[in-house]
């Protein structure tokens, strides 16, 4: 089984659902794809790249995906969930507002770069809205079973990246 990290975000309502509820619903829909699952708190973050848009609600989920689920299979499942909540990739502006965006940040130690998928996510380490919730989950694990120090090394690696992003506004909304 592979340990996977996903970033979830929304800054547009869909039908009667506000963005914060879309992120929570997407998290619940992703859960069955995992055999172990951890979700971060929910965060409100400023939009990056295109500033003239509403704030995003973001969270990260991590865990071991079901046996046999490949990165491309997972991407297909993610696209179904995104479409369910109104995402239309053909009509959206890159980095613009969206009802739901789910990114595969990490898939074990795999490296993929093809026409449909890049893993690790190429902008993961420049986004506080990914690193803050990811580090939150990692820090919970250190208190648990980090007998080989692997989680501690990840915290150092991604924590150093986060220090460079202090200009990005991010605030915790809920646990």
Q: What is the CATH number of the domain that holds 115?
A: 3.30.70.560
Q: What is the pLDDT of residue 105?
A: 96
Write out the residue range of the structural domain in which residue 154 sits.
3-174
Q: Which of 73, 94, 103, 161 is catalytic?
A: 103
Q: Which pLDDT value is given to residue 153?
A: 75
pLDDT score, position 93: 78
Domain count, the chain: 1
Choosing from 87, 94, 140, 146, the catalytic residue is 87
Active-site residue among 31, 44, 52, 98? 98
Pairing of strands 56-64, 38-39: antiparallel
Would you state the pLDDT for residue 165? 85
In sequence order, the 6+-apart residues with CB closer than 8 A to the CB of 145 are none
Annotation says 147 is catalytic: no
- pLDDT at res. 62: 96
Question: Is 0.85 topped by the overall pTM?
Answer: yes
Gap between the Cα atoms of 4 and 159, Å rounded: 19
pLDDT for position 13: 96
Q: What's the pLDDT score for residue 149?
A: 67
Give 10-residue mean pLDDT values along the chain (175 residues): 94 96 98 96 92 94 95 98 92 86 95 95 90 89 62 77 85 85
| Catalytic residue check, 101 | yes
Of the residues 89, 101, 146, 167, which is catalytic?
101
Classify the C-alpha dihedral 79-80-82-86 as positive or negative: positive
The two beta strands, 38-39 and 101-107, are unpaired
| Residues forming beta bridges with residue 65, ordered by sequence position | 34
To the query of whether residue 15 is one of the catalytic residues in this protein, the response is no
Please indicate whether residue 114 is annotated as part of the active site.
Answer: no
């Amino acid at each position: 089984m592979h340990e996977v990290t996903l970033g979830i975000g929304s800054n547009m309502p869909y039908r009667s659902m506000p963005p914060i509820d879309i992120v929570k619903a997407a998290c619940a829909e992703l859960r069955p794809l995992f055999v172990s699952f951890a979700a971060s708190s929910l965060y409100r973050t400023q939009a990056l790249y295109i500033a003239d848009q509403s704030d995003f609600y973001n969270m990260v989920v991590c865990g071991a995906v079901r046996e046999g689920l490949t990165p491309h299979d997972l991407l297909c499942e993610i696209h179904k969930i995104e479409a369910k909540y109104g995402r239309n990739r053909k009509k959206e502006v890159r980095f613009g507002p969206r009802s739901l965006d789910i990114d595969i940040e990490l898939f074990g130690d795999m490296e993929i770069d093809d026409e449909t998928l890049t893993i690790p996510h190429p902008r993961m380490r420049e986004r506080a809205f990914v690193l803050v919730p990811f580090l939150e989950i990692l820090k919970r694990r250190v208190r648990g079973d980090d007998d080989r120090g692997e989680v501690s090394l990840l915290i150092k690696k991604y924590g150093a990246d986060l220090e460079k992003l202090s200009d990005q506004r991010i605030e915790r909304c809920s646990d």
